[in-house]
Amino acid sequence: MVTVKLCSRLAVHNNTGTPTKTKWALLAFSTSNIENPYLNSTRSELCGHEVESDGEAEVLIGAENKVAFALIQAKAKFMRIILQSQMINEKKLAHKLDTVWPKIESGIPRLKSDDVAPLKKVLLSNWDMLQDLFEFYVEGPYMTQEKLATFIDDAELFPAYDTAHQCAKIFGRTCNYARVDEHHFDFTCLIIALFLAAQVKYNDTLEAGADALSSYAAMDELFVFNFVPLAERHQLQSVLKYAFCSDECLASLRPLNDDLQTVFNRYATRTQDIPVSVSLEDITEILCYAGMVADGTDTTLARSLYTQVRKSTIFGNDAEKVSGAPVEVSFPEFVEMVARAGFQQFFEADADGAGDADASEGGNSNTDAASLVSSNIVSCLVAGAKAVVNKNNSTTAAKPPPTANSKAKGRKK
């Protein structure tokens, strides 16, 4: 039994007003292993924390949860093999980081050699999301001090009254350390600036007993509690990619894999002896029968989805423009496309999440579209795959596609 004594006041950092965090504070206030790095062995290792011993881990997460986590990881591992082409390409990302690392390292003062590897892991895990945020706030290759302040303010790194002062100081120091003028503050400089911001927020304090973090753990905290929520609010494409590649999403897609493969094969064999690929016209028909497209002959959404799944370096494909030429969609691309279509159909930021539980299960229940509306990204991705499985039966591939004049099924947005 553990007895916890609650204090009437919360200790905060003098400089920034942010609360000091300890392992037990995170354990008490987190609602999932994603929010609490100490319940996630992968993130614990990433942040330099030793993984709990078997005895203590048993107390923290319980034997039943350990079994459940192991099952989720096993299902996710299987789907990563099936959907390999759409998964994170760590080698390519590492090459991109290594290219700019000398400039980053030279711009970070007093960086310990032991901190380099874990800091790189933090950056690699969030690379595309940070690039998306940079491009969202900047038109062109360089960021101004005003844009940096807006970015930091939107991410709520510091109290509103202190943001302008801290950003001015961080911007000036970054330009000094990186040896650039204020007109050449690029993406690499942003990484240096965020490192300095992490130090200001978590380590620049004289507060007795403050929970100062290592450089890489402080950087990771910024992403977990500030930049990931910011990217989700802006619905950036990298957020969908991270959600799609997550254990939670892949494990939920595992029970749907065989049915998705059946739908894919049914359309692919219309023109091929061996089902290797489907066309954008096929994708449009599939989405139409699933109630996610009104006109089964309009390929606009399918072409947009294909561009999204082919864009970004996170899974090995550089950004490319999809021309009007015929497109052949592989099975892994097909799965991600229908999942993204589900996000566009069912996601509402202000929804109460009523569809979360249903979408997270892999069953083939015939649930109406309205009940799947959710603010949970993973639930919406899985809901897209479920809609395709539930609505595309053995006869749909033989029917002519519905048109805009036909009665559109599903929820209209």
Residue 328 in any domain: the answer is yes
Asked if 120 and 231 sit in the same domain, the reply is yes
Tell me the pLDDT tens digit for each residue of 271-305.
888 889 999 999 999 999 999 998 888 999 999 99
Of the pLDDT bands very low, low, confident and very high (cuts 50, 70, 90), residue 366 is very low
Asked if 71 and 113 sit in the same domain, the reply is no
Asked if 344 and 279 sit in the same domain, the reply is yes
Residue 7 in any domain: the answer is no
* Number of separate domains in the chain: 3
Alpha carbon of 155 to those of 163, 203, 224, 232, 283: distances in Å? 11, 19, 11, 11, 37
Q: What is the DSSP string of 32-48?
A: STTT-GGG-HHHHHHTT
Mean pLDDT of 17-22: 52
Tell me the pLDDT tens digit for each residue of 82-127.
999 888 778 888 888 999 999 999 888 788 888 899 999 999 888 8
Asked if 386 and 261 sit in the same domain, the reply is yes
Residue 412 in any domain: the answer is no
Residue 126 in any domain: the answer is yes
Asked if 112 and 73 sit in the same domain, the reply is no
Query: Does residue 402 surpass a pLDDT of 50?
Result: yes
Query: How does the average pLDDT of the chain come out, rounded?
Result: 77
Asked if 139 and 265 sit in the same domain, the reply is no
Alpha carbon of 156 to those of 42, 57, 152, 196: distances in Å? 26, 32, 6, 15
CB atoms within 10 A of CB 375: 18
Last residue of a domain, one of 57, 86, 115: 86
Residue 13 in any domain: the answer is no
Last residue of a domain, one of 188, 215, 239: 239
Q: Which of 33-42, 126-135, 318-327 has the lowest mean pLDDT?
A: 33-42
Q: Do 193 and 170 form a contact (C-beta atoms < 8 A)?
A: yes
Residue 203 in any domain: the answer is yes
- What pLDDT does residue 199 have? 87
Asked if 192 and 94 sit in the same domain, the reply is yes
Asked if 253 and 232 sit in the same domain, the reply is no
Q: Do 292 and 339 form a contact (C-beta atoms < 8 A)?
A: no
Residue 392 in any domain: the answer is yes
101: exposed, middle or buried (C-beta count within 10 Å: 0-12, 13-18, 19+)?
Answer: middle
Q: Where are the beta strands (DSSP E) in 51-124?
A: none
Last residue of a domain, one of 239, 256, 273: 239
Mean pLDDT of 44-73: 58
Print the domain residue range for 28: 23-86
Asked if 213 and 314 sit in the same domain, the reply is no
Residue 405 in any domain: the answer is no
Asked if 277 and 377 sit in the same domain, the reply is yes
Asked if 120 and 66 sit in the same domain, the reply is no
Asked if 291 and 230 sit in the same domain, the reply is no
Query: Does residue 212 surpass a pLDDT of 70?
Result: no
